[in-house]
Structure 1
């Protein structure tokens, strides 16, 4: 998909069930209650939304944040070679990121860029 295609999907809003599938594919995302972070709603409210007859969609901002988390995990898997190693790295403080936890940085565009830039440097062997 092109970046423009992704932008159109984000602006239309991701389906709640698609984001739930993303979260369920990651132990880190489940443990850190990513869906609740993205939506700003309780687990119970999200369950009610999931059971509505019409398909619930996230708004554009929530969809953009969900996409950042998915893209961050995808890049970390490419850099570290496995989802387990990527999730371990994402869930712990990183001294090269001023001791911040990468997972907690992905919910803003600036934090996402910092994490992606660092992962690209690691991938290229230039991370000092």
Structure 2
């Protein structure tokens, strides 16, 4: 049982590092994340603007405006204003949504093999989501849960 828990901790830590990397790593986050509690504390106080800027900057196919609106819950205009005040962190809601988007993008990249494929998958209608695009569902907790469930089914080879 202890061995299984150690393996689980390692997998969680690896996932955490992938998410942190999408958000600019320790430099942008001003700390190294070593546990889910570290992530919780970071989101509680709000992500720095630079972390979300890094996330948006790493996107290969998805447009900046679309991603901000659908995944982070912020218009491009609001984002531009926020960049002018970089010392003020994002709200808890915006931080949580940005984190969840990074988490889903990291998982989809693992499942589909590349970030480009993950982004393409996010923007295409999915049979298992009643022909809805995964990125369009990220605006609500229920939609996020549907996308995560569908991604897990893809991981295990269950497509519908």
Q: TM-score, normalised by structure 1?
A: 0.85
User: Which deviates more from structure 2 when the two are superposed, residues 64-73 or residues 2-11?
Assistant: 2-11
CA contact (8 A) 1:93 1:99 kept: yes
CA contact (8 A) 1:13 1:63 kept: yes
Question: What is the match of residue 105 of structure 1?
Answer: 137
Query: Once the 2 structures are TM-superposed, how far is the Cα of residue 121 of structure 1 from its aligned partner?
Result: 1.3
Query: Once the 2 structures are TM-superposed, how far is the Cα of residue 81 of structure 1 from its aligned partner?
Result: 0.2
CA–CA separation in structure 1 for the residues paired with 2:42 and 2:151: 25
Question: What is the match of residue 152 of structure 2?
Answer: 120
Query: Once the 2 structures are TM-superposed, how far is the Cα of residue 31 of structure 1 from its aligned partner?
Result: 4.3
Aligned length: 126
Q: Give the 3-state SS of the residue equivalent to 1:27 in structure 2.
A: coil
Query: Once the 2 structures are TM-superposed, how far is the Cα of residue 32 of structure 1 from its aligned partner?
Result: 4.4
CA–CA separation in structure 2 for the residues paired with 1:120 and 1:39: 24
CA contact (8 A) 2:125 2:132 kept: yes
Task: Please list every run of 5 or more consecutive structure 2 residues that lacks an aligned counterpart in the other structure.
Answer: 1-33
Report the RMSD for the aligned CA atoms in angstroms: 1.9
Runs of 4+ in structure 1 over 4 Å off: none
- For residues 76 and 18 of structure 1, do their structure 2 counterparts lie closer, same or farther at Cα, with a shift above 3 Å needed? same
Task: Please list every run of 5 or more consecutive structure 1 residues that lacks an aligned counterpart in the other structure.
Answer: none
Q: Which has the higher contact order (CA 8 A, sep 6+)?
A: 1
Query: Once the 2 structures are TM-superposed, how far is the Cα of residue 63 of structure 1 from its aligned partner?
Result: 0.4
Question: What is the match of residue 35 of structure 1?
Answer: 68
Query: Once the 2 structures are TM-superposed, how far is the Cα of residue 107 of structure 1 from its aligned partner?
Result: 2.5
